[in-house]
Amino acid sequence: MVRPLGYRSCWSMPILSYQGQVLGTFALYSREPGTPSAEQIDLISMAAHLAGIAIERRQSEERIQFMAHHDALTGLPNRVLFDERVASALQQARMTGHWVALAFLDLDNFKLINDTLGHHAGDELLRVVAGRMLACVRKSDMIVRVGGDEFIILLNSLPPESSVMLARLEAIRAAIGAPVVLAGRSIQVSCSMGVVCYPDHGETTTELLANADSAMYRAKEVGRNNLQVFDAQMAAKAHEKLRRHEELRDAVASGEFVLHYQPQMNLKTGRIFAAESLLRWQHRERGLISPGEFIPLAEETGLIVPIGDWVLNEACRQNKAWQDAGLPPIVVSVNVSARQFKERNWVSRVAAALEESGLEACYLELELTESLIMQDVTSAVATMHELEALGVHLAIDDFGTGYSSLSALKSFPVRRLKIDRSFLVQDIPGDADDQAITGAIISLAQKLQMHVIAEGVETQEQVDFLRASGCDDIQGYFFSRPVGPAAFVSLLLQ
Ligand code: C2E
Ligand code: MG
Ligand code: MG
């Protein structure tokens, strides 16, 4: 190649990395045929060595830079780069009058895929999804991974009309929804999106992202697999929620909770043998608030853990105090939320509550729901066995409303099923189907040597039907509403 230019010899000296990889080469051409002298070789060896160090250093700087700004799994940019990019996108939009869209994106049921197909499949899915999203956007747009299965999409320089923005985001949703082969299986995932656009939904990145988060929350709330654009109502709701969360947190700190007790009666003896503890919030202004109004929030925010601990300890303490006062001993049952049950040291917390109150374990019953157990049957059954070993009794609450597999049911160490009140029709003889279900649950429990209690029993007709069907126990307004501790003592004495 160089001959026409008058060169007659060529010498090449590799530039090697520390580990001996070729990073480049020094090529020396000469107009005279021959090899370099020893002196020349020394010189280029030294130059190649120095160049090697410089190149390697530059490469590792670039790698560090890349790693600092990108997610290792998907190769997508990360939050650091994103923040810079959004700032400049907004600035540009201010001048051009274009729109900028920001969308939070969260894969639906990603945890399920991870749990069932394994983490490798989960990682692969994230890579596939990242690739599909990238294929849908332009170079000036950006996609970042901000958490396990959460992404943010930034669409730049959009014409100021929502139809364009929505069409492009819907295209991304559609791309993600196409089948993926993972661990030899073809599966489909959906995603939820919360969307905001500049300038309509906020001035700053912080404000926009907070609003996108509210929109995402709404998307999850309406059942996932959809896209929600932010509106002012969402902001008001998010604000209200934050306020309620703070109020609830203060209530935990200042001990504004009380327990009411609802007696459980045996149908044969007519005696009270147990009571369910039901939480009430004694609010300074609003009075007594029922758990349906604050437990969902407590579960969502994790406050259910300290609240549940309080309930457990208070119920044990109260029951022991009744026994110490000479009242006939009864079982107290405590509702357990999934969040609490999954706490690592949950079993030892139960043991500590018994220890501290001095209550014998056989006087404590824990009510678990079917959905709590079914979230992770294997580990739930293991925890149930540990609790059983303490001597505590277990019951399944709201039975019939969840998705217990009947074959799993026989492996649960539970003593009681509580038939949900939705199966008790108001005016028995009423709905034949509900009656049939109630009857079937009762005989199923009998076959599995479990007790059955019907909750929400309100009428004499219901009592008669339950007795005829062989139900052991009842709980409900028919006998008594949940009442405060003092009123409960008089019930017990009667
Ligand atoms: P649950 O455990 O199924 O409790 C039974 C609910 O049915 C109670 O509502 C009770 O007052 C109500 N009830 C009882 N008898 C009747 C009746 O004859 N008719 C009707 N219509 N209702 C009846 P409450 O006290 O509002 O509690 C609602 C739910 O809140 C409970 O359902 C339970 O899931 C949850 N909860 C209550 N206390 C706690 C607690 O300390 N911890 C946790 N994690 N959840 C709790
Ligand atoms: Mg209950
Ligand atoms: Mg119930």
Residue 235: inside a domain: no
Nearest alpha carbon to residue 398 among 375, 379, 423: 423
Q: Which of 335, 369, 370, 459 most suits a substitution to test ligand 1, by most atoms within 8 Å of the C-beta?
A: 335
Q: Are 180 and 125 in contact (CB under 8 A)?
A: yes
Residues 336 and 410 in one domain: yes
Q: Which atom of ligand 1 is nearest to the CA of 457?
A: 18
* Ligand 1 center from residue 340 Cα (angstroms): 17
Assess whether 65 and 89 both reside in one domain: no
Q: What radius of gyration do the chain's Cα atoms show?
A: 33
Q: How high is the pLDDT of residue 426?
A: 62
**402 C-alpha to center of ligand 1: Å?**
16
Rounded Cα distance between 113 and 91, Å, is 40
Domain that holds residue 63: 3-69
Please report, for the domain that includes residue 288, its CATH number: 3.20.20.450
The number of folded domains in the chain is: 3
H or E element that contains 347: helix 346-357
CA 420–ligand 3 middle distance (angstroms)? 6
Residue 15 — φ and ψ, nearest 5°?
-100, 115
Q: For the packed helices 346-357 and 377-390, what is the interaxial angle rounded to 10 degrees?
A: 20
Q: Which of 295, 302, 267, 300 is nearest to 279 (CA)?
A: 295
Q: Which residues line ligand 1 (CB under 6 A)?
A: 262, 278-279, 290-292, 295, 308, 311, 335, 337, 367, 397-398, 421, 455-458, 476-477, 482
Nearest CA to 366 among 344, 345, 378, 351? 351
Same domain, 416 and 284: yes
Is 194 found in the same domain as 320?
Answer: no
Three-class DSSP category at 161: coil
Residue 470, sorted as left (phi over 0), alpha (psi -120 to 50) or beta, turns out to be left
CA of 276 to the centre of ligand 2 (A): 7
Do the bridges between strand 331-335 and strand 364-369 make them parallel or antiparallel, or are there none, so unpaired? parallel
What does 86-154 look like in DSSP terms, one character per residue? Answer: HHHHHHHHHHH--EEEEEEEEETTHHHHHHHH-HHHHHHHHHHHHHHHHHHS-TTSEEEEEETTEEEEE
Final residue before a domain boundary, out of 210, 230, 250: 230
Nearest CA to ligand 1 atom 22: 456
Cβ neighbours of residue 146 closer than 8 Å, sequence gap 6 or more = 78, 79, 82, 152
Whether residues 171 and 316 fall in one domain: no
How far away, in angstroms, is 333 Cα from ligand 2 center?
Answer: 8
Unique residue bearing structure tokens 């490469």: 59
DSSP 35: -
| Cβ neighbours, 10 Å, residue 73 | 14
195-to-156, 214, 396, 404 alpha-carbon distances in Å: 14, 9, 40, 37
Question: Helix (H, G, I), strand (E, B), or coil: what is residue 16?
Answer: strand
Q: Answer yes or no: do 105 and 20 share one domain.
A: no
Residue 236 lies in a domain: no
Distance CA 36, CA 483 (A): 102
Q: How far apart are alpha carbons 149 and 462 in whole angstroms? A: 49
Run of H or E residues at 238: helix 232-253
- For ligand 3, the distance from its centroid to the CA atom of residue 289, given in whole angstroms, is 18
pTM confidence score: 0.69
Of 12, 47, 69, the last residue of a domain is 69
**Structural domain includes residue 367:** yes
pLDDT value for 290: 95
* Long-range contact pairs involving 394-400 (C-beta distance under 8 Å, separation at least 24): 394/365, 394/366, 394/368, 395/333, 395/365, 395/366, 395/367, 395/368, 395/453, 396/367, 396/368, 396/369, 396/370, 397/335, 397/367, 397/368, 397/369, 398/369, 398/370, 399/370, 399/441, 400/437, 400/441
396 and 484 belong to one structural domain: yes
Report residue 167 as tokens: 């069409």
- Please report the pLDDT score of residue 264 as a whole number: 98
Which pLDDT score is estimated for 429?
56
CA of 476 to the centre of ligand 2 (A): 11
Predicted pLDDT at 427: 57
- Examine the domain organization and report whether 37 and 154 are in the same domain: no
* Residue 338 domain flag: yes
Q: Where a domain ends, among 69, 103, 125? A: 69
- Is 475 part of any domain? yes
- What whole-number distance in Å separates Cα of residue 172 and Cα of residue 107? 12
The residues whose Cβ lies within 5 A of ligand 3, an ion, are 397-398
Q: What is the model's pLDDT at position 234? A: 85
In a domain, residue 113? The reply is yes
Closest ligand to Cα 475: 1
Distance 448 CA to ligand 3 centre (A): 20
9 and 86 fall within a common domain: no
Taking CA atoms only, the protein residue closest to ligand 1 atom 8 is: 278
Q: What CATH number has the domain bearing residue 62?
A: 3.30.450.40
Half-sphere exposure of residue 64: CA atoms within 13 angstroms, side-chain side: 6
Instruction: Ligand 1, residue 477: give the atom nearest the CA.
Output: 18
Give the ligand whose atoms come closest to the C-alpha of residue 426: 1
Residue bearing the CA closest to ligand 1, atom 43:
335
Cα(284) to centroid of ligand 2, in Å?
A: 26
- Which ligand 1 atom minimizes the distance to the CA of 279? 38
Intra-chain end-to-end CA distance of the chain, in Å: 111
Q: Which ligand is nearest to the CA of 262?
A: 1
- Considering every ligand atom, which ligand is closest to the CA of 456? 1
305 in the same domain as 189: no
Domain contains 74: no
Say if residue 224 is exposed, middle or buried (CB neighbours under 10 Å; 0-12, 13-18, 19+).
middle
Mean pLDDT by 10 residues, the chain (494 residues): 91 92 92 92 93 93 88 90 92 95 94 87 95 95 93 95 94 95 90 95 93 92 91 85 90 94 96 97 93 92 94 98 96 96 93 97 96 87 95 93 77 92 68 81 90 94 91 95 97 92
Nearest CA to ligand 1 atom 41: 279
pLDDT for the residue numbered 467: 93
Tell me which residue has its CA closest to atom 6 in ligand 1. 456
- The pLDDT score that the predictor gives to residue 425 is 66
Nearest CA to ligand 1 atom 21: 456
Could you tell me if 260 and 333 are in contact, meaning their C-beta atoms sit under 8 angstroms apart? no
Distance in Å, CA 396 to ligand 3 centroid: 9
Locate the ligand 1 atom nearest the alpha carbon of residue 259 and give its number. 41
205 and 320 in a single domain? The answer is no
Closest ligand to residue 401's CA:
3
Atom of ligand 1 nearest to the CA of 291: 30
The Å distance, Cα 311 to ligand 3 centre, comes to 16
The C-alpha atoms of residue 408 and residue 368 are separated, in whole angstroms, by 15
> Using an 8 Å Cβ cutoff, are 445 and 409 in contact?
no
Is residue 137 located within the same domain as residue 175? yes
Residue 342 inside a domain? The answer is yes
Pairing state between β 393-399 and 364-369: parallel
Write the CATH number for 196: 3.30.70.270
- Give the rounded distance of the alpha carbon of 483 from its chain centre: 34
For ligand 1, atom 16, which residue shows the shortest CA distance?
456
